[in-house]
Amino acid sequence: MKKFVLIKLVVQRSHGSRAIDTALSAGATGVTYYYGSGTGVRQRLGFWGRLIESEKMIIEIVCEQEKYSPILKALDEKCQINKPGVGFAYVCPVEAVVGYFEDRK
């Protein structure tokens, strides 16, 4: 039985399209995204925090457990999510999946 994970990525809204394209190029079969607002890093950075967008894009990617590492690595390298205020990502286990199709032909 295949195991799945959920990659959740939160990035500045202006970086969202690049993050989606990167994830798909790195092997994600699809993404779900929506918009939100964030607080935290902006406030801690003082004056410089004003340059960080409060509007965020939240991107969710369900993939097989063994395939998440290259997707996460590509997102880190191409979207620079390791820089303060750009975004962050995390991976959670998924208990069950219904309707997941890797290739629809």
Domains and CATH numbers, the chain: 4-94 (3.30.70.120)
Average pLDDT, the chain: 85
Task: Say if pTM beats, i.e. exceeds, 0.85.
Answer: no
User: What's the rounded mean pLDDT across residues 17-32?
Assistant: 95
User: What three-state secondary structure class fits 84?
Assistant: coil
Sign of CA pseudo-dihedral 16, 60, 20, 65: positive
Residue 18 is encoded by which pair of tokens? 């690049």
Say if residues 43 and 35 touch (Cβ distance below 8 Å): no
Asked whether residue 83 carries a pLDDT value surpassing 90, the answer given is no
